[in-house]
Amino acid sequence: MKREELLKKIDLYIEGELSGKELEEFNRLVEKCPECREEIQKYRNLLKLTHAVARYKPAPPPNLHLKIMKKIEEERFREKSSPLLHFLVPALTLALILAIIAIPSFLNLTEESSVPASSHRENRNITLTENKDTLQNMQGLTSPSPAPDEASLKLASEEFNDFINTIQNQRKKLENKITYIYPITSSASWKKLAEYLRLSDEPVKIAIRPIIKNRNVDYVDLISHLDEVRNTNPYVEIEDASTSTRVAGNPGAGVVLQISVLK
Amino acid sequence: MDGELFELTINRFNDPDFELVIAARKGNEDAFSELVQKYSHQVFSLSMRILNDYGEAEDLTQEVFIKVFKKINSFKGKSKFSTWLYQITLNAAINRLNYLKKRRHYDSGFINETSVRGEDEDYGIEVSSNERTSEEDYIGKETYHKIIEEIYALPEEFRVVIIFRDLEEKSYQEIAEILKLPEGTVKSRIHRAREVLKKKLEPYLKDGEK
């Protein structure tokens, strides 16, 4: 083999990738060629440098695995439910608007008969559910003791901000029990919920009632957020009823949160 | 289906991830999670080496695994799962890099130090705890940045092989499989890339200079 041809394999020689006849030829060349030895040394130094750079590895982001799995879960949810959502979002938004307009008037008419004169507390229940696949199944399940003047509303996940705004804007107008069923699709939604609760300036009672503990749901994350709220806002009371109200056998079901706003 | 299974069966004995992939394809979320656990750092590392931007690399890593999740049913087992994953990562990273370059995000193509988060203040990146640099491996900050700069200045086809071989330390065979090139082509491409680097880094290659 010609010298030039052999020198093309100089890095393979250094990396120990040459064998047999090629290696013998290379060794013979090196013996009688001082320039080749100089070239080999340069290559050795180059590889030392690049290998030293390789030792410096970019530190992976914290909780990378968890973040990826959350994205996957969101993707899985989107894939499963998008056709339903396309139908539900406009329908439920309309239902919410109508209810907000209609309920205060309705409550004014029924207030005298439904609230005992001695009662100083109003109880408004807001129930949140993890998975919108369960929306249809959950009607009735989420409201433990429906009052005669209770209205049930279902909201889709994209409406969460509206949901929060609605509560904030309408809370003074709401005079009695209202049950919301709301699908929480990601921990981002929980964080928003937690943020809302953290800022709440009136007593809030939350009952966590998962229909089934779905392993895709980062339940620990949810509880830790709510615990954080409980620790920072004395108005918030959290009752974890998750273990006693779990219902097996419904793979579409997720975590149900019941929030009672008390004053 | 039988044909598909047959193709998958071919790799049963030479792909360590075979069982996990089969389970993930059947919808086993724990199996998919295990694959993510096993490879997320490697995907991030390759993304980071190519994009040189911490935030972009993190986003890309998530994007890659969403792609894998969506496409795992189309994985036929003709290569190892890890090879397939690297192919997806490489394609996504190159596409992203080209997009960012078009937006002039990378003015010089040089390391974006502020975007790199890590523990080593001097370098802006972390030295793996089990791979602390020995005396022999130690290089000065200026040298480190010069090498990175020259690697990023290489044409894409050279840069990619150098990243795989010298920074990610893949074998020639693995690189050939990932890039779907003959091994001989990979070897010659790496040699040519090193020739360029050798010229650019000439002052750093004299004995005793680091």
Band of pLDDT at residue A3, cut at 50, 70 and 90: confident
- Inter-chain contact A11–B191, Cβ cutoff 8 Å? yes
Which residues are bridge partners to A127 per DSSP? Answer: A181, A258
Q: Give CA separation, B60 vs A20, A94, A226, B21, B143, in Å.
A: 44, 38, 31, 21, 28
User: Does residue B199 register a pLDDT over 90?
Assistant: yes
Nearest C-alpha of chain B: how many angstroms from A214? 12
The DSSP bridge pattern shows strands A256-262 and A123-129 to be antiparallel
Class assignment of domain B139-203? Answer: mainly alpha
- The 10s digit of each residue's pLDDT in B63-90 is 999 999 999 888 877 788 999 999 999 9
Per-residue model confidence (pLDDT) at position B63 = 95
For CA atoms A110, A113, A117, A119, the dihedral sign is negative
- List pLDDT tens digits, range B135-151: 445 677 788 888 999 99
Note whether B147 contacts A49, CB cutoff 8 Å. yes
Kindly list the residues from chain B whose CB atom is less than 8 angstroms away from the CB atom of residue A69: 33, 36
What does the alpha-carbon distance between residue A149 and residue A179 come to, in Å, rounded to a whole number? 11
Interchain pair B126, A59: CB under 8 A: yes
Phi first, then psi: give them for residue A99, nearest 5 degrees. -65, -40
pLDDT band at A205, cuts 50/70/90?
A: low
**Using CB atoms, which residue from B36, B125, B143 is nearest to A65?**
B36
Residue B150: the pLDDT is 92
| pTM exceeds 0.90, yes or no | no
Determine, for residues A75 and B61 on separate chains, whether the beta-carbon distance falls below 8 Å.
no
What is the architecture of the domain spanning B1-117?
Orthogonal Bundle (1.10)
Residues linked to residue A151 through DSSP beta bridges, in sequence order: A178
**Hey, which residues does A205 pair with through a beta bridge?**
A237, A260
Least confident of A20-24, A84-88, B61-65: A84-88
Residue in A11, A61, A215 closest to B190 by CB: A11
| B34 φ/ψ angles, rounded to the nearest 5 degrees | -65, -40
Nearest to A56 among B32, B125, B168 (CB): B125
Higher pLDDT, A51 or A91: A51
Q: Do A76 and B162 touch (CB under 8 A)?
A: no
Q: What is the pLDDT of residue A146?
A: 35
Whether residue A10 lies within 8 A of chain B, CB to CB, comes out as yes
Q: What percent of chain B has pLDDT over 70?
A: 75
Locate the domains of chain B by residue range: 1-117, 139-203
- Chain B, residues 18-47, CB within 8 A of chain A, namely 29, 32-33, 36-37, 40-41, 44-45
Condensed to tens digits (0 to 9), the pLDDT of residues B1-24 reads 444 444 444 455 567 888 888 888
Task: Write out chain B residues lying below 8 Å of A50, CB-based.
Answer: 147, 151, 162, 166-167, 197
The CA distance from B175 to B163, in Å, is 10
